[in-house]
Chain A
Amino acid sequence: MAKDAFDRRAFLKGAAASAAAVIGTQLAASSAPAAQTESQGAATNEAAQPRDRIILRPGSDFMVDVIKATGIDYIASNPGSSFRSLHESIVNYGGNKKPEFLTCMHEESSVAMAHGYAKAAGKPMGVLAHGTVGLQHAAMAVYNAWCDRVPVMIFAGNFLDADKRRPGVEWYHCVQDPALILRDFTKWDDQPVSLQHFAESVMRAYKMALTPPMGPVVITVDGDLAEETAHDEKKLRMPKLTRTIPPQGDSGALAEAAKMLVAAERPVILADRVARSQDGMKQLVELAEALNAPVADIGGRMNMPTNHYLCRSGDRRALVGGADAILMLEVADPWGQLFTISDPHHEYRRFAKPDAKLIHISLGDTLTKSNYQDAQRFLPVDLAISGDAQASLPALTEAVKSAVGLTRRATLADRGGKLRDDYKRMKERARQTATLGWDAMPVSTARLSATLWNTIKNEKWCMAVSGMQWNRTLWPATEYYNFIGGSGGAGVGYGAPAAVGAALANRDKGIITISFEGDGDLMYAPGVLWTAAHHKIPLLMVMHNNRAYHQEVMHLQKMAALHNRRMDQASIGTTIENPNIDFAKLAQSMGVYSEGPITNPSAVGSALSKALAVVKRGEPALVDVVCQGR
């Protein structure tokens, strides 16, 4: 206690000098050359007592320069002492712009926000976290980003020099190897020990994070390096950042793939994490049309316009079952596209034809690690092409066009009529299925999806997060930004923060971001609602509130049957009732406009319209709809 009081007095005494120093720092940052800043700092330090010491040009200012040079616009963070200097430099030296500090309430939310942001923005967000407790909180979200092959720039605070650590908490919050805890599911990390080292490693990390297969990276920010004077700044060099061109698959292999596909009578394209842009979608359409082959969009990204007659995602199983050639494009789980395993008896069955030719264009083999099993089950294929799928599409399409002779061209064209009929049947089947339980209470998921579409159909829209398929099945989606895929690793807690991150990226593009939020998922870290309100991030959140960890109910039912035990207790530990969570009040408490809970389906539309008006004003809104399980 006495020590604390002493420290506080020392702090207060130094406050006036610090205030002056801030002004001085800003001046130095804006007008004085680096050399002058350095000499001023040295002169001040020479004459002063330790408590009066002023650092005019801390290392963290240069770190901000480096971060700015990458083009990172936002840093998501829950504040922490191990990176306090960088935090301060972002705010005061950097002017809290590009990057802007986003106040988060959990490191898992910080990373999940960055995850959603990256997919909507096409570039990474920074995350700043304690090297120990922060990264431990963040780990699940980092794993999601890793599984989803999404770039996130993580900066981890740490004090490497034990001689300078304050006793107690600071020791708990320091670590010899900060990135170790994430190394199984990050692409690269480094612990720079000088500012030049920091600059080069940040540029390398950024470059690597964005080179397909993309992934999260970690750079440690040493507290002493950040807080102390940036010595010899004249010698520091800002490395030029050059993006790596994604690798196209081997031309000969693509030509071989084209021959196999052209020769097939019933080729099918499975697209997962393919498109990175509208161009990517266009290229996939061109390939599909060149072959007149149906595409099942698995949904890792927005790959294929849902209103195109070759987009047959709803018929994926049947298409694979009948195919004589299957082209997989960056498919995360290739084995699972051809096989099923019964649950819980583990009988597996191949529903694809045994002699179907299999081609996979993927960079999956170039970035795998052993411990976590995101590589999925091994699937032997006839032709494995290492390459970025989007980058390989133009060459593959050209090869297909070259391989199609006049006779074959007529045959492929003849497939069009049936494929158009099949597409219409698929869409009509979806509409008919959507009618089932139309007036049910709780609200059916199909009706909720259709009602939301009716609300946003005249907007530029992005459905950032959804646990239901109806949106992709029913909605006409033609733009790359309409859907951004899922969480990757299916780690709970992704939905709300990822949607907030995507909404931030879409904010300046005039795109209305919407999301279906699972109740269990939102409760992992609901503080992100406050972050959305605080930073005025417009997002229309619609609760898919089924008051349960829904699929876990079914798992318990299966286990009870397997063990020949009573079947009526599956709600224990799996439902979120008694009391029911009032998500509207939860949102209101954090400054988010809300409606609900709504159980009557006819009341959903007007609530969504009111919420949309709020979102169009630039604020978040939440509508709590009590829903059917799925």
Chain B
Amino acid sequence: MMSRFIFTLLFIFAVATAFAQEKISGSPERGYQSYMKYQCYTCHGTVGQGADRGTGPKLAPYPLPWPAFEQQVRRPRQDMPPYRKEFVSDQELTDMYAYISSLKPGPEAKDISLLNF
């Protein structure tokens, strides 16, 4: 039973990784415009950093693999509203994914003197 569960997890991970490695033909610039237009920043911040008080999880850096990202936007878990194709096209979603994928990690906590509490 446990081995079947682990196998399933590995399979999902492999598929997700394969998708993630696909070249996503989105434009980060257009993606930023869409990200702002649909006000994704209200919950996730303008650079996908997430928000205080558990409002929205971080999106970047290191975003979810594309299938998981698409699934979460179209048929989300928890309280996030769904962004359906009728209102957010596949191209817009792809562009937004390109935008958050383009965001680079910031400095680490140990290198930020203001975070030496």
- Write the residues of chain A forming the contact surface with B, with a CB cutoff of 8 angstroms: 342-343, 427-428, 431-442, 444-447, 450-451, 453-454, 468-470, 474-476, 548, 550-551, 553-554, 557-558, 560-562, 564-568, 570-571, 628-630
Known contacts A567-B81, A571-B39; is-contact A468 B52 (Cβ 8 Å): yes
Nearest chain A CB to B97 CB, angstrom units: 17
Residues of B with C-beta under 8 A to A548: 42
Give the number of residue pairs across the A-B interface with Cβ within 8 Å.
116
| B83 at the A interface (CB under 8 A) | yes
- Name 21 A/B residue pairs within 8 A (Cβ), A-sorted: A435-B106, A435-B112, A436-B47, A438-B112, A440-B47, A445-B51, A446-B52, A475-B117, A553-B42, A557-B42, A557-B81, A567-B83, A567-B88, A568-B38, A568-B39, A628-B46, A628-B49, A629-B43, A629-B45, A630-B51, A630-B55
In contact, A554 and B115 (Cβ under 8 angstroms): no
User: Which residues 53-110 of B have a CB within 8 angstroms of A?
Assistant: 53, 55, 58, 78-79, 81-84, 86-88, 106-109
Residues of A with C-beta under 8 A to B49: 436-437, 440, 444, 628
Residues of B with C-beta under 8 A to A571: 39
- Write the residues of chain B forming the contact surface with A, with a CB cutoff of 8 angstroms: 37-39, 41-43, 45-53, 55, 58, 78-79, 81-84, 86-88, 106-109, 112, 114-115, 117
Residues of B with C-beta under 8 A to A565: 87
A441 to B106, CA, bound (A): 13
A474 to B87, CA, bound (A): 39
Closest 5 CB pairs of A and B: A437-B49, A561-B81, A436-B49, A630-B51, A450-B114
In contact, A436 and B50 (Cβ under 8 angstroms): yes
A445 to B47, CA, bound (A): 13
Residues of B with C-beta under 8 A to A439: 106-107
Nearest chain B CB to A550 CB, angstrom units: 6
Q: Which residue of A lies closest to B84 (CB)?
A: A564
In contact, A474 and B117 (Cβ under 8 angstroms): yes
The CB with the most chain B CB atoms within 10 A, among A431, A438, A450, A564, is that of A438
In contact, B39 and A570 (Cβ under 8 angstroms): yes
Residues of A with C-beta under 8 A to B106: 435-439
A560 to B84, CA, bound (A): 11
Residues of A with C-beta under 8 A to B42: 548, 550, 553-554, 557, 570, 629
In contact, A450 and B115 (Cβ under 8 angstroms): yes
A446 to B52, CA, bound (A): 8
Residues of A with C-beta under 8 A to B45: 436-437, 440, 444, 628-629
A446 to B53, CA, bound (A): 11
Q: Which residue of B lies closest to A306 (CB)?
A: B117
Nearest chain B CB to A515 CB, angstrom units: 16
A352 to B107, CA, bound (A): 37
Residues of B with C-beta under 8 A to A553: 39, 42
Nearest chain A CB to B55 CB, angstrom units: 5
New A-B contacts (17) at CB < 8 Å, excluding given A436-B47, A629-B43: A427-B117, A431-B117, A435-B112, A436-B45, A437-B46, A438-B107, A438-B112, A445-B52, A468-B52, A469-B52, A474-B117, A560-B81, A567-B81, A568-B37, A568-B38, A629-B42, A629-B55
Known contacts A439-B106, A440-B45; is-contact A433 B112 (Cβ 8 Å): no
Nearest chain A CB to B14 CB, angstrom units: 28
Nearest chain A CB to B83 CB, angstrom units: 6
Nearest chain A CB to B112 CB, angstrom units: 6
In contact, B38 and A629 (Cβ under 8 angstroms): no
A342 to B79, CA, bound (A): 6
Residues of B with C-beta under 8 A to A440: 45-47, 49
In contact, A558 and B81 (Cβ under 8 angstroms): yes
Known contacts A436-B58, A438-B106, A557-B39; is-contact A628 B51 (Cβ 8 Å): yes
A558 to B79, CA, bound (A): 8
Known contacts A440-B46, A629-B51, A630-B53; is-contact A434 B87 (Cβ 8 Å): no
Residues of B with C-beta under 8 A to A474: 115, 117
In contact, A454 and B114 (Cβ under 8 angstroms): yes
Nearest chain A CB to B79 CB, angstrom units: 5
Nearest chain A CB to B82 CB, angstrom units: 5
Q: Which residue of B lies closest to A345 (CB)?
A: B79
In contact, B115 and A567 (Cβ under 8 angstroms): no
Nearest chain A CB to B62 CB, angstrom units: 11
A562 to B107, CA, bound (A): 39
The CB with the most chain B CB atoms within 10 A, among A431, A432, A558, A628, is that of A628
